[in-house]
Structure formats: C-alpha cells, structure tokens
Amino acid sequence: MKHQRKGSVEKQPYILIVDDDPDILEGILTILETQPYRLATARDGKKCMELVQEELPDLLILDLLMPRMDGWGVIREMRNDPRFARVPIMILTTVIEDASRRRYELETGMAMEVQDYIQKPARPADLIQRVSKLLSLDASKHAER
C-alpha cells in the first residue's frame, strides 16, 4: 500500500514499513507521516520483496515474526542480492536482539547485518530521530560515491 503526500515527492526519502500487525503499521505511519518521507507498507515478507523490486527503498523498517516470509528471510534475501544489499534495515520487533541475532546466525552461518534494532514499542521521538539518522548516513554514503 502506498501512502503518498501531495507536492514535490520525488526527492523525499522512500521508506518501506513491513509488519503483519495493522495496528503497529497505523501507529508507525501516524508518527512518520509528520516527516517529509514517502511511505509504503507491506504485511509480510513476500509482499515486502515485491515492493522492494518495484522501487528500492531508502530505508526498510522490518518486523521479524510474520507469516509467509519472516523478517529473517527478508534480511537473508536482501543481503544475498547485490541489488538490495546496501538498503539500510531497521528491525522493529518484540523479539529481543540477542535471541534474534543468534537465530539468524544459526540459520545462515552469518552475522545479521542490520543498521538499527528497536524492541517494540518504539517511542515516537526516538523513532523519528533514529530514522532520520539512518537516512542521513545513507545520503552521505551516496554523496561519497
């Protein structure tokens, strides 16, 4: 689902938010809609990968426990595909960080490469600040090239 604001949206960073819980999505959208971003949402990992192929997001906000394809699966696909490997990923989940890192390592034999990890619930001010930090890191990386 695309949530576009009117006006000059071309240059606005594009954020894809993936969570199977519609209430979490609405809460996160309500917070991030106050910022100059273009937002899209997906309810599972498969849909997420479809949207990523349509347009590369500047940031992926990702839940872990989801139907069809879970968040670990999404990370694995993103990191194994050179087209998507550089997209910053912020995990937003109820799963504690060490447990989910361990699970990823056990399943893939590799370290879980994500740029930020928030255990739900996210405090709005914190979320906004961390999103903007990830986006600016990304922008500076692009500027270097």
Partner 1 sequence: MRKDNRMAPPLNNQVSARLLIAERLGQAEIFSDLLQEDLIAIAEFCREETYQEGETILVEDRPAETLFVIARGKAALEKKIQIGRHSTPRNAAIGYVGPGKITGFSVLTTPYIYSTSAVCLEPTRVIAIDGPSLRAYLQAHPSAGLKVMENIASLIADRYRNATHTLTYFLSIVSHELRAPLAAIENYLQTMHAGYAGELTPKQERMLQRSILRVTDLSALISDVVDLARLRPEQIQADFEWFDPGEVGTESIEDVRLAAAEKGIKIRVEPPPKFEPIVGARRRMRQVFTNLLNNAIKFSPAGSQVIFRACYEPDALIFEVEDEGPGIAEEDLPHIFTDFYRASSAGEIPGAGLGLSIAKKIMDAHDGQILVENLAGEAGVSGTRFAVVIPRTLQTPEMRRRPEAVVGDGY
**143 lies in the binding site for partner 1 (CB under 8 A):** no
CB of 96 to partner 1, least distance (A): 7
Q: Which ranges constitute the DSSP H helices of the chain? A: 22-32, 45-54, 71-80, 97-108, 124-144
Q: Which residues pair with 15 in a beta bridge?
A: 39, 59
CB atoms within 10 A of CB 71: 28
Total binding residues for partner 1 by CB under 8 A? 22
**10 lies in the binding site for partner 1 (CB under 8 A):** no
* Cis bond upstream, residue 121 (ω within 30): yes
Q: Are 115 and 90 in contact (CB under 8 A)?
A: yes
**23 lies in the binding site for partner 1 (CB under 8 A):** yes
Q: Which is nearer to partner 1, 68 or 86 (CB)?
A: 68
Structure tokens at 54: 């349509």
CB of 51 to partner 1, least distance (A): 22
Q: Which of 83, 123, 141, 142 binds partner 1 (CB under 8 A)?
A: 123
Pairwise CA distance, residues 46 & 103, whole Å: 20
**122 lies in the binding site for partner 1 (CB under 8 A):** yes
**34 lies in the binding site for partner 1 (CB under 8 A):** yes
CB of 53 to partner 1, least distance (A): 28
**120 lies in the binding site for partner 1 (CB under 8 A):** yes
CB of 10 to partner 1, least distance (A): 25
DSSP secondary structure string for all residues of 97-111: HHHHHHHHHHHHSS-
What is the binding site for partner 1 (CB under 8 A)?
21, 23-24, 26-28, 30-31, 34, 65, 67, 94-98, 120-125
